[in-house]
Chain A
Amino acid sequence: MLDAGQTQESLLEVNNIEVIYNHVILVLKGVSLSVPKGGITALLGGNGAGKTTTLKAISNLLHSERGEVTKGTIHYHGDSVADLSPAALVKRGVIQVMEGRHCFEHLTVEENLLTGAYTRKGSVQQDLDLVYSYFPRLAERRKSQAGYTSGGEQQMCAIGRALMSRPETILLDEPSMGLAPQLVEEIFGIVKDLNEREGVSFLLAEQNTNVALRFAHYGYILENGRVVMDGPADELRENPDVKEFYLGVSEEGRKSFRDVRSYRRRKRWLS
């Protein structure tokens, strides 16, 4: 599982991008990363680190939020994505599952899934069956309005909707948000299945470092709009800094919150 990602060709190359919102707010200060074909790549970091912005820069959803990539390049299959609309990217196989699910509340679950196939032509029944086979719960709720389903079901609906476009790469933003630990495990398990059986590559933005590093192959840690560390997931998991700052364990055992402030000073990568 672990080296599946690294040996293969790179699908997505993000090269030193800088993103500015509203012409003034500098959010990303030079982020570079690469997503290999067939891998699960995790983008980790706290609130405001720039994970979501990175994903939106790739999927070109930034424009509608008055954000702009001002420096650097993003290439998918070697082609620049800068001038592509989100719709064109979906057609090329890159689709984003947004943070906070964003299901269409007044549409039924099945209608939600069907919107995912908007850019495609031809029959979609096969894809519906596929989605229902991965998410049997959605099949049960297919006639209910998405707004009335549970948070977990909405997350499944959002991922299923993305699957309907037959994507090559899914940009998955914070799938664990607001979900019970059990559900988080279930959803990550399905992500892994999709990766292994359907060959979908994932770029995963996640705050829950613990879970993300267990399921991902490779990880990037973002802080204040910069990549501060990257490496194979199992190495990151063993890294003493990651352990201390993101996984909440350290050699000295549990820390009390009183010592938290001193964490910042001791970060090795910032000195």
Chain B
Amino acid sequence: MPDQVLFAMEAAINGLMAGVLYALVALGFVLIFKSSGIFNYAQGVFALFAALTLVGIMEGQVPFQHLINAIFGTELHGFGWETPAILAVVLTVGVMVVLAIAVERLILRHLVNQPDIILFMATIGLAYFMEGFGDLMWGADIKKLDVGLPQGGSFWIEENTAWLGGDGFYGFFIDRLDIVATIAAAILVIGLTAFSQFTKQGRALRAVADDHQAALSVGISLRFIWVLVWSIAGIVALVAGIMWGSKSGVQFSLSLIALKALPVLMLGGFTSIPGAIVGGLIIGMGEKLFEFLIGAPFLGGATENWFAYVLALLFLVFRPQGLFGDKIIERV
């Protein structure tokens, strides 16, 4: 095979892997949007906060240590122990559940039946609050996150694909972390789908997504369902945070990946779990391939930044509900 084709294939595969990461963030959006009609602007910050908390717990940081030091003049730097990754993940899940309960108590409960835009504004407020809160709690420096996931290119894949091309081709370069992320995303999607299809709470969740009032009338507690959904979204955010954090360090720009999830959602549909995944893959692969085939040779490069949004714009014009969005059932 000509090398040019192989390079395009490599770009496509790496794009798919990056797409998985977009999809992980988009998944959190879909879960909340589906069950409560709220577009949770804070989902990206949730991923950041989850990653910060995870690192903080792993390194044995004292929460709010800067604040405590400033007020009491102490010299706290940490508890002096390191928490094993598994335990830290479990504790972080606990923190995300507490966060979900707090969001329901302090925000959602008071805004029941308000117009969507008000809830959206509330999540914007939440996003900025959480960003500041995360900063205050764990500090603003960039942190390294290593939960023991394999990283770096896979030599096995490189060696076994090198024969495909000529002398200039050394085999596909695929980051092992991306492969882990793909597996994690697959497990999440299968798990979530099974949960919503085959369990009582999952059924209740879909019922709430369809019709709040009717769900209330049959005795489903909206508050409980909201806490449940925001907890799950928090856990999904944690997975996204781990993957992004392992890749590029835990830093505050992590919250901006939320913006990349937006075109993914427009493509896949705001209400579809498989849509979030497929949308993520298409955007990820599309932007890499476009850059490789058209962007770099003809447009001077750097097309990755805007390609996703243009694609989303096209979708908004021709298929506003996205690829997999809920069809609006209307009986005549």
In the bound complex, residues from chain B placing their C-beta under 8 Å from that of A85 are 221
A105 in contact with B217 (CB, 8 Å): no
B204 contacts across to A, CB distance below 8 A:
115, 118
Is B110 positioned at the interface, with any CB of A under 8 Å from its CB? no
The answer to whether the Cβ of A161 comes within 8 Å of any Cβ in the partner chain is yes
Query: Is the C-beta of B326 less than 8 angstroms from some C-beta in chain A?
Result: yes
B216 contacts partner chain A, Cβ-Cβ < 8 Å: yes
Please give the number of chain A residues whose Cβ is less than 8 angstroms from any Cβ of chain B in the complex. 36
Residues in A whose Cβ lies below 8 Å from that of B212: 64
- A 20-57 binary contact with B (CB < 8 Å = 1; else 0): 00000000000000000000000000000000000000
Q: Is A135 an interface residue (CB 8 A)?
A: no
- For B217-230 the 0/1 string (1 means CB < 8 A from A) is 11111100000000
Return chain B residues, CB-CB under 8 Å to A105: 210-211, 329
A88-121 interface code vs B (CB 8 A; 1 in, 0 out): 0111000111100011111100011011101100
CB nearest neighbor in B for A121: B200
> Interface residues of B: mostly helix, strand, loop or mixed?
helix
Known contacts A64-B113, A106-B206; A115/B215 CB under 8 A: yes
Contact at B329–A98, with CB atoms within 8 Å? no
Q: What's the nearest-Cβ distance from chain B to residue A95, in Å?
A: 7
Q: Which of B173-214 contact A (CB under 8 A)?
A: 200, 203-204, 206-207, 209-214
B324 to chain A, nearest CB (A): 13
Taken together as a complex, chains A and B put the C-alpha atoms of A103 and B206 apart, in Å, by 12
Q: CB distance A95 to B219 under 8 Å?
A: yes
A residues 157-177 with Cβ under 8 Å of B? 161-162, 165
When the two chains form their complex, are residues A91 and B219 in contact, meaning their CB atoms are under 8 A apart?
yes
The yes or no answer to A261 lying at the interface (CB within 8 A) is no
Question: Does A266 touch B at the CB level, under 8 Å?
Answer: no
Chain B residue at minimum C-beta to C-beta distance from A60: B216
Contact of A107 among B112, B203, B220, B222 (CB under 8 A): B203
Residues of B contacting A59 in the complex (Cβ-Cβ under 8 angstroms):
217
With the chains together, A114 CA to B216 CA distance in Å?
Answer: 14
Partner of B329, one of A97, A106, A151: A106
What is the size category of the interface that chain B forms with chain A?
Answer: 20 to 34
Contacts A64-B213, A118-B200 given; indicate if A95 touches B206 (C-beta within 8 A).
no
Q: Give the Cβ gap from A112 to chain B, nearest Cβ, in Å.
A: 8
Cβ contacts under 8 Å, A104 to chain B? 206-207, 210-211, 214-215
Whether A106 touches B220, Cβ cut-off 8 Å, given contacts A111-B203, A115-B203, is no
B216: A residues at CB distance < 8 A: 61, 64, 86-87
Asked whether A65 is an interface residue with its Cβ less than 8 Å from the other chain, the reply is yes
How distant is the Cα of A243 from the Cα of B214 in the complex, in angstroms? 35
CB proximity to A under 8 Å, residues B218-276: 218-222
Contact in complex: B207, A107 (CB < 8 Å): yes
In the assembly, what is the distance between CA of A95 and CA of B220, in Å? 12
Please name the residue on chain A nearest to B197 by beta carbon. Answer: A111
Task: Given A64-B113, A145-B329, A147-B329, check contact A107 B219 (CB 8 Å).
Answer: no
Residue of A104, A148, A162 with most partner-chain B CB within 10 A:
A104
Beyond A64-B212, A64-B216: 7 further Cβ-contacts under 8 Å?
A87-B221, A89-B219, A102-B211, A102-B214, A107-B210, A111-B206, A114-B200
10 smallest CB-CB distances across A and B, nearest first, come from A90-B219, A147-B329, A102-B214, A119-B219, A104-B210, A87-B219, A104-B207, A115-B207, A87-B221, A96-B217
A selection of 13 A-B contacts at a CB cut-off of 8 Å is: A64-B112, A64-B222, A86-B219, A102-B211, A102-B217, A104-B206, A104-B210, A105-B329, A106-B326, A115-B203, A115-B220, A148-B331, A165-B218
